């Protein structure tokens, strides 16, 4: 028996039945891998199902309306991912005859597809014998071999990469998925389930929670914001953000109050945490006369892409307006 055979046997018996694993279609794997970045699998699955219903293949995604595409991604965050999806789909239609390329090296040339995602698509969909090293795999191998190098530095990355490459075996599509599954379910960052681990007898570390070694995270910058939700009594004013930067092309509330308004009501406070910054927000709803760029509740819910950072204020405003209409 080897580590690989024990791991694969465990995977065959315990793998989660996930929608994107059913047919190993490269398009499905690509979409699921992009969605799973910075998002738990359980949280992304409903988004995945809705997204695939709207954009079931590369041609439909390449032709997607930008507003609708952002709306379909609403709630997942890191919106540059969905913009890169469309760019990638367009490039595949123009350069790869409407298909995702079949090798890791070719896949890495596409927008938004990095080393790991390229390896996942190439190995799972096309059975190319290549690695797919994500955070789960880094964690597993740093513990298996008791690696105390900083895995964010060149030497640590190189060591882990070498060990993973040496371990690759067939069937590669299941081996790479087994590693991902082990990291997601057993070899977790906190409180790893070592007593349930199928490869525990090969593991050299005596302190799994101390690995992998990473530098201490920088403290997030705190930005304080005043938010003004303007309403004419039934509709809400929304502002479209610019094409660049954080939350590009999405809709938000005003950050400057109008010169005149009829009355003001508090919508409370909310802190939204991004990877590098925290928005500490205080919101007021201001009743104003009707004007341009006012949208109904239904339009905001069904047509506009509104970042989750602002949704608590939208929900509060909607509740107040619905009470008034009653």
Smallest CA-to-CA distance from 224 within 145, 180, 282 is with 282
The two tokens of residue 22 are 């059913």
Distance CA 10, CA 178 (A): 8
Strand partners, 213: 150
Catalytic residue among 33, 128, 173, 181: 33
Smallest CA-to-CA distance from 76 within 244, 308, 239, 238 is with 308
Q: Is 33 considered catalytic here?
A: yes
195-204 burial, b at 16+ Cβ within 10 Å, e below that, comes to: eebbbbeebe
3-state secondary structure 233-246: CCCEECEECCCCCC
Distance CA 11, CA 325 (A): 55
User: Which alpha helices (H) appear in the chain, and where do they start and end?
Assistant: 3-14, 26-36, 41-54, 58-62, 66-73, 80-95, 104-107, 115-124, 135-144, 154-167, 172-185, 297-302, 311-325
Going by their DSSP bridges, the two strands 221-231 and 294-295 should be labelled as unpaired
CB 251 within 8 A of CB 239: yes
Strand partners, 197: none
Distance CA 226, CA 27 (A): 42
The two tokens of residue 283 are 């919101």
The two tokens of residue 36 are 């799973």
What single-letter DSSP state applies at residue 177?
A: H
Going by their DSSP bridges, the two strands 277-287 and 221-231 should be labelled as parallel
CB 108 within 8 A of CB 118: yes
Q: Which residues are catalytic?
A: 33
């Amino acid at each position: 028996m080897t580590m690989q055979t024990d791991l694969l046997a465990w995977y065959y018996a315990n793998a989660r039945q996930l929608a994107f694993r059913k047919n190993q279609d490269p398009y499905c794997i690509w979409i699921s891998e992009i969605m799973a970045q910075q998002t738990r699998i359980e949280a992304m699955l409903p988004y995945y199902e809705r997204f695939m219903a709207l954009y079931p293949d590369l041609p439909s995604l390449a032709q997607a309306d930008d507003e609708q595409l952002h709306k379909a991604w609403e709630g997942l965050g890191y919106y540059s991912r969905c913009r890169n999806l469309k760019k990638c789909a367009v490039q595949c239609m123009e350069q790869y005859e409407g298909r995702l390329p079949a090798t890791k090296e070719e896949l890495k040339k596409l927008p938004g597809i990095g080393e790991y995602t390229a390896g996942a698509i190439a190995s799972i969909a096309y059975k190319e014998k290549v690695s797919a090293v994500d955070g789960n795999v880094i964690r597993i191998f740093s513990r298996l071999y008791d690696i105390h190098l900083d895995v964010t530095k060149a030497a640590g990355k190189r060591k882990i990469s070498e060990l993973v490459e040496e371990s690759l075996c067939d069937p590669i599509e299941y081996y790479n998925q087994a590693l991902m599954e082990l990291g997601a379910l057993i070899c977790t960052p906190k409180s790893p389930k070592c007593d349930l681990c199928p490869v525990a007898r090969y593991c050299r570390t005596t302190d799994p929670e101390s690995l992998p070694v990473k530098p201490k995270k920088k403290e997030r910058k705190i930005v304080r914001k005043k938010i003004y939700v303007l309403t004419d009594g039934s509709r809400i004013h929304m502002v479209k953000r610019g094409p660049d930067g954080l939350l590009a092309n999405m809709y938000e509330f005003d950050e400057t109050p109008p010169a005149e308004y009829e009355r003001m009501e508090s919508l409370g406070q909310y802190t939204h945490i991004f990877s590098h910054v925290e928005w500490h927000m205080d919101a007021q709803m201001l009743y104003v006369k009707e004007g341009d760029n006012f949208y109904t509740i239904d339009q905001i819910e069904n047509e506009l892409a509104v970042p989750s950072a602002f949704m608590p204020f939208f929900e509060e405003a909607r509740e107040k307006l619905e009470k008034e209409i009653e």
